[in-house]
Structure 1
């Protein structure tokens, strides 16, 4: 009688798909592959492998929520651009109080002569005045402190909603181009005049708020009332640059039309192209006017 025993049957021990030398009996709940403790990632149920977790994160990023006008980002995002613009204007106002010379160096002037006989202005190559003026405010003129007070209140009132629906990039482009539009109209109509203030940009936001509100079906009565009141003040109070207000309003409304009514399939093209075209158009007008003055 033989005492020799037959060998035990061979069994296949599962190993980690990323580390073949490591035995494991745990599977990824998403792809069902075996994973070792190093490759395990906690999931709502069981564990997932590192590749499935990464794939899930990519999907979450691509599915990030967008606003009705295509802006991506969390709905409750802080209006960083609005607060930054308000901060810059307040900072520049403090600088003005400390040094009135700042206004003379940065205000919007098409072509002028200082008390020292120095010729200054956009026509003299100081193109930065077209933009720098929108961060300055009347310090001791007819408007005084109420100038910056009202503008910052208006920016705080309408800015966050526009920044939220447009996204930070589009919103900043709208603001800057609206302010630039006001400066350009002043340069075209009254090149020897001077002006300061964010009012052109603010009026651009008013116009954009109305256009986008109509597009989204939101109530537009309050913004229309505010706009009418401010237009009445613009043409009735001495010392206010109506060119800056109207220029900003027109440019802001036109850009908002492109933002609000761009075809969904070509939204990116319109949202990028229209501000660029507007910038080129305004720069062309400034160039033509400068050639005529010089």
Structure 2
């Protein structure tokens, strides 16, 4: 009897232990589940907060992105290709300016060398009369650029060709705002009287001025400009003849100083261009003298 009671009590005790363990197990499971759910909610809340934050820039301070951006003012920042285009534009402009200035200095040096030092190598005082019988001297060359040509009205081919070319030069220069006075001086005073010269030059450019004089005056003018001319040693009255002479256009500056001699190598275009270069490169003597005192005077020597 006793043993059966003990057996039953033991059985009750043994049966009760598993039940308590199951309750605790369920409680722990529910607690873990609640904790997990709370952790998930917390993580989701953190993710939402992080997503609302403005992402940090990966660009270093002072750096720039590869694409165009707008600043607060609304202007577009320069990109690499725009900077390169600006560099090419500025570089090209500077090259053009310095190349043009280099050419101008070269022409100026050339003119200064032709003027010579002290007494001019080419040019000087003379006294002649124009096609209207008015006196014309070296003082009439002052104040403007002048182009002098020595020839004669009975010249069969060279003089007409050269005067035609001179007319083209004058027309081209006038379109560029340059109006030099053009002067024809005869090397044949015996036949080229004022009226003869006037009629002859009317076939060419209307601005041409014709000069003549007696033999000695013409000879002196040719000597001043280093012009060679000659007539046959023996002449009969009324005999036709040719005059041998130099073929140059003498360009004089507004101070009456020689700048350059343009020969037959200059055509209708290059001659006008050369004269224009000299006109634009011209610097008055007083400014040239003052410039010699400057530290940068070596640039003009």
Interval containing the TM-score (normalised by the shorter chain): under 0.3
Q: Which structure has more helix as a fraction of its residues?
A: 1
Q: Calculate the TM-score normalised by the size of structure 1.
A: 0.26
Q: Which structure has more strand as a fraction of its residues?
A: 2
Q: Calculate the TM-score normalised by the size of structure 2.
A: 0.25
